[in-house]
């Protein structure tokens, strides 16, 4: 089973746009087709960002249920290595730490420009569209 690290922007996009590529990716994770890898820091960011005022139009009960489902199906890791000089946004290093510790095959982000590399150790860094293209090729 492929392991994925999902940037917060992808989770929020999935909540905001149910017909989007991020929502499709989340629909692959929730039934267990792919394994979401998270840390306490990443999951806390999912909760904090989704509760921001600008996302108040979202049904917060549905958001909590969605996040709970992610939480219960996720592979939880505790990074042993601190990374502080790879991502352009220092907060994004947490996703690299998770990817490294979990040995995730993919880190999926809509902010690809925050990551100066397309591969970090064994983890490929892709946009949602790139990841879905990869999945489509595997199905053929």
| Helices 60-73 and 40-50: angle between axes, nearest 10 degrees | 170
CATH number of 3-139: 3.40.50.1010
Q: Using one digit for the tens of pLDDT, what is the confidence trace for 14-57? A: 999 999 999 999 999 988 889 999 999 999 999 999 999 888 88
Confidence (pTM): 0.93
Distance CA 2, CA 126 (A): 14
Q: Give the pLDDT band of residue 118 (cuts 50, 70, 90).
A: confident
């Amino acid at each position: 089973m492929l392991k994925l690290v999902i940037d917060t922007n992808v989770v929020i996009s999935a909540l905001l746009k149910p017909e989007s590529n991020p929502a499709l990716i989340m629909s692959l994770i929730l039934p267990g087709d792919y394994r979401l890898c998270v840390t306490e820091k990443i999951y806390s960011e999912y909760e904090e960002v989704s509760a921001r005022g600008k996302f108040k139009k979202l049904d917060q009960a549905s958001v909590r249920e969605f996040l709970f489902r992610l939480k219960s199906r996720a592979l939880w890791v505790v990074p042993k290595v601190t990374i502080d000089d790879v991502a352009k946004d220092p907060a994004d290093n947490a996703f690299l730490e998770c990817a490294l510790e979990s040995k995730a095959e993919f880190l999926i982000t809509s902010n690809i420009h925050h990551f100066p590399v397309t591969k970090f150790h064994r983890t490929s860094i892709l946009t949602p569209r790139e990841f879905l293209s990869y999945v489509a090729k595997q199905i053929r």
